[in-house]
Amino acid sequence: MADEKSTKPSATAFILKSSKTKKPSLNKASVSSKKVVKPAPKAPAAPVKKSPAKSSATPAQKPTAATAAPAPAEEKKKPVRLSEILKPKNDKNYSEFLSTEPKTRLKNIIVAQPQPEGIKSPYFDLESKYKVKFQFTPFVTVEGVQGKDFRKQRISLNDFSGIIFTSRNAIDHFFRICEELRVKMSQETKYFCTSEAIALYLQKYTQYRKRKVFFSDTNSNKEMRALILKHRDTTRFLYIGPEVRSKDEITSFMSDQNIPFTEAVMYRTVPSDLRKVDLNKYDMMVLFSPSAIHSLYQSFPAFKPGKLKIGVYGKTTADAVLEAKWQIHLMAPLEGAPSIIAALDGYLKVSNK
């Protein structure tokens, strides 16, 4: 009997065994959760199997980037044409804005500039040639900035080897400031002028030498920009201008091309009182700056050109006229009309024939 008891498993032992086997089933959730946690790092293994699809997409993108990368490098290596550099942004074809109405005979023309000095002037030649009368009335008065006020700009004139002049006023007030501050410019100083007439005016103040004076033969800003571009690496530029001015092509071009320059304010424009001027007696009005238009409106707030024809010099002046919604009948510089005299001659040749 003792042997039988020893060989047969007891109920207690069976229960214990069954309980041991059932214990894992009770913790099956926890065990299974652990098993899921362990393969968790392998969980990306499922995506890894899909990775060939992703990797196939990735290489498809990488070669695109790789092939696209050299493209800009090749573009940089390509030489940029000078014509593209010199082409102003959003340049208008101003010939398209010229009025197409018939050119009628002109008898009296008012020019918004001071009377020319001396008896020799192209305007007087046009008067005798076409039997027309010019009246010179400055629409703005130019006042110089005093030397003590110029010092506040903290500009040392001798630090600059290239001076840019866009008008005779700029030349007059530059050398006036030099005299007031007792500054003597180096003989090696380069002078850049927007026209030959302005360049020749330098003879009033300094010995004129072609190798130090640069100007546009065609009176075009495009040629002026080319000259500045040619000397950009060896010249520090100083731009002489008024206190208030419209943004012009020269300064815009230099900013776009990262050419260092400094603007020096040496004079200011003040509107003239034009209320005593009878504009109805004139057939054409010739304007040279946006300031002249502002002055005109200040004296005649309700001004409208009517039958008065408008001639303009310069693109900034033309833009101001178009903004005022006036018609342009004559303009310079344009192809075939490098100066206002040439433009007037071409117009009068038809109107006063």
- Would you say the C-alpha torsion 85, 88, 90, 93 has a positive or negative sign? negative
The predicted structure's pLDDT at residue 333: 87
Whether 283 and 258 map to the same domain: the answer is no
- Would you say the C-alpha torsion 316, 319, 321, 327 has a positive or negative sign? positive
The predicted structure's pLDDT at residue 134: 97
Q: Residue 179: which CATH number?
A: 3.40.50.10090
Burial call 218-252: b when 16+ CB within 10 Å, e when fewer: ebbbbebbebbbeebeebebbbbbbeebeebbbbe
SS3 298: helix
Whether 154 and 128 map to the same domain: the answer is no
Whether 162 and 244 map to the same domain: the answer is yes
Cα–Cα distance, 271 to 141 (Å, whole number): 6
Cα–Cα distance, 116 to 122 (Å, whole number): 9
The predicted structure's pLDDT at residue 86: 56
SS3 108: strand
Whether 152 and 253 map to the same domain: the answer is yes
**Considering the domain boundaries, does residue 15 fall inside one?**
no
**Considering the domain boundaries, does residue 11 fall inside one?**
no
**Considering the domain boundaries, does residue 90 fall inside one?**
no
The predicted structure's pLDDT at residue 314: 87
Q: What are phi and psi of 195, to 5 degrees?
A: -155, 160
Whether 129 and 149 map to the same domain: the answer is no
What's the total number of domains in the chain? Answer: 3
**Considering the domain boundaries, does residue 285 fall inside one?**
yes
**Considering the domain boundaries, does residue 135 fall inside one?**
yes
The predicted structure's pLDDT at residue 328: 97
The residue ranges of DSSP E strands in the chain, in sequence order, are 108-111, 133-136, 140-144, 162-165, 190-193, 213-215, 237-242, 261-271, 284-287, 309-313, 330-332
The predicted structure's pLDDT at residue 31: 38
Last residue of a domain, one of 214, 234, 263: 263
DSSP secondary structure string for all residues of 255-280? HHTT--EEEEEEEEEEE---TT--GG
Whether 160 and 253 map to the same domain: the answer is yes
Could you tell me which of 246, 305, 332 has the C-alpha nearest to residue 110? 305
The predicted structure's pLDDT at residue 88: 57
Residue 178 CB coordination number (10 Å): 18
Domain range for 32? 24-78
The predicted structure's pLDDT at residue 58: 45
**Is the Cβ–Cβ distance between 267 and 169 less than 8 Å?**
yes
The predicted structure's pLDDT at residue 208: 78
Whether 158 and 253 map to the same domain: the answer is yes
**Is the Cβ–Cβ distance between 298 and 291 less than 8 Å?**
no
Whether 288 and 198 map to the same domain: the answer is no
In sequence order, which residues have a C-beta less than 8 Å from that of residue 116 and are 6 or more positions away? 123, 124, 136
Question: How buried is 339 (Cβ within 10 angstroms: 0-12 exposed, 13-18 middle, 19+ buried)?
Answer: middle
Whether 134 and 159 map to the same domain: the answer is no
Whether 194 and 278 map to the same domain: the answer is no
pLDDT in tens, the chain (353 residues): 444 444 444 444 443 344 444 444 444 433 333 444 444 444 444 444 444 444 444 444 444 444 445 555 555 545 555 555 555 555 688 999 999 999 999 999 999 999 988 778 899 999 999 999 999 999 999 999 999 999 999 999 999 999 999 888 999 999 999 999 999 999 899 999 988 888 999 999 988 777 799 987 765 677 888 899 999 999 999 999 888 766 677 888 899 899 999 999 999 989 999 999 999 999 999 999 899 999 999 999 999 999 999 999 988 899 999 999 999 999 998 888 988 999 999 999 999 98
The predicted structure's pLDDT at residue 312: 96
**Considering the domain boundaries, does residue 6 fall inside one?**
no
Cα–Cα distance, 164 to 183 (Å, whole number): 17
In which element (H, E) is residue 252 found? helix 249-256
Whether 245 and 322 map to the same domain: the answer is no
**Considering the domain boundaries, does residue 1 fall inside one?**
no
Whether 174 and 192 map to the same domain: the answer is yes
**Considering the domain boundaries, does residue 8 fall inside one?**
no
The predicted structure's pLDDT at residue 18: 45
